[in-house]
Each structure stands twice: as structure tokens, then as C-alpha cells.
Amino acid sequence: RKEVEQDPGPFNVPEGATVAFNCTYSNSASQSFFWYRQDCRKEPKLLMSVYSSGNEDGRFTAQLNRASQYISLLIRDSKLSDSATYLCVVNGASSASKIIFGSGTRLSIRP
Amino acid sequence: EAQVTQNPRYLITVTGKKLTVTCSQNMNHEYMSWYRQDPGLGLRQIYYSMNVEVTDKGDVPEGYKVSRKEKRNFPLILESPSPNQTSLYFCASSLGGSSYNEQFFGPGTRLTVL
């Protein structure tokens, strides 16, 4: 089983739709969680950190479920500019541990 | 401008010819890391460094070496490149000597080994 798993997609949704991604992780001792966004042939950039209490940034909401070991990302009122690959990132049990990326979920927003 | 730079951006080489990809950051970050990205496999961590003179293996360290003699630089060395090291490589850095913080990525180096 992969340490971090994501549905690769692609998700193809109309502009204005709400779309949700999940990401599961295997190490129950993991401490920090992130969503990164990667545009085609570009470097990944932080979209948002994921906190235990859940957090929201405009149209984006991230949730963490430690009991079931998954994190989620919800995008409301999707825009054409949201088309990208979304990467789930989990670190290990300590601050000195390695960082694990999911293989990414590709999202395409159509007009 | 705060940034992570990598050189070269593109490289085509032949099997066995030693090469170095440089990575430099100007943000005074302690944590630096190298990744490779392959289709369907996502980003996989090769090596990381919590601070100067401290390096650790990531998930796929075989065939690579790194060094961290100065805080700002973290070069990736391929002593004897092979075709299975053809990939897109990213260097990243983050504040603090920990893996808990946001990572800032360089623009990537596309390496082809013939």
C-alpha cells in the first residue's frame, strides 16, 4: 500500500461546480498535512496547510480526519484558473522525517 | 526576490558521465530537499537536509549523492547516471530545521540520460 494515495482523476467539471478530492495516508503518527497545486510543467506551490480543526481560504476548504487517516480538499464555485494538479503532502512522525507526496489529482474546469 | 534557483534547467547527457545539479536559496532556510517527479509516481524525495552538514535519505536515494557545506546550497550529484534517472528534478527549501513547514520549490531541472 502506498504511504499517501490520491485518486489520479482526471476530474473534468463545469465552471461553477463544487469538486472534492480525498487523500489517504498510512502513517497514523503523521503530524503535518498540506495541499499543493502544480500547473503543467511548473513547480508545486502551497495551496493550503491542513489543520485538525479544518480550515478555509476563500473558495477552498481543507479537512483532516485522523481517525480514518484522510485529508480532503473542497473547491466551491470552481474557476477555469483552478485547472491544475492537486498534490496531497504528508510528513512523517517527527520534524526530522521525510516528506511524502501523493501522485496528484488532475482537475480540468471546462467553460 | 526570495527564490530557489536550480541549474541547469535542461540537461541531456550520456550514461556514466558524472553530473551535478546545483540548488541555491536566498531565504536563509535550514531545510532543503531534492525530489524527482515521474508520470504516475508523483514527487518522490531523494535526499533532504535539516541543516548544514546534516543530510538524510528520502525514499529513492540510490544513485544520488548530496552535500550541504553551506546553508544556501544543496547540490545533487549523479556519479554515474543511468537512463532510469531520466526525470524532472525539483529542489525545495523551507524555514526551520523541520519537515513541518511550507516548502518553496525551484523551477525544476529536466534531465535526460541516453
Cell of A99: 516528506
Q: Is B58 in Cβ contact with A101 (below 8 Å)?
A: no
pLDDT > 90? residue B76: yes
Where residue B102 falls among pLDDT bands split at 50, 70, 90?
confident
What is the average per-residue pLDDT within B71-81? Answer: 97
> Strand, helix or coil at B83?
helix
Q: Is B40 in Cβ contact with A98 (below 8 Å)?
A: no
Encode pLDDT of A69-99 as tens digits: 999 999 999 999 999 999 999 987 665 677 8
What is the average per-residue pLDDT within B26-30? Answer: 94
- Between CA B95 and CA B60 the distance in angstroms is 23
Low-confidence ranges of chain A (pLDDT < 70): 93-96
* HEC per residue, B24-70: EECCCCCEEEEEEEECCCEEEEEEEEEECCEEEECCCCCCCEECCCC
Residues of A with CB under 8 A from a CB of B: 8, 31-32, 34, 41-46, 49, 87, 91-92, 95-104
Residue B99 pLDDT: 64
pLDDT over 90 for what percent of chain B? Answer: 85
Non-local CB neighbours of B17 within 8 Å, separated by 6+ positions:
B81
A95 CB neighbours in chain B (<8 A) are 96-100
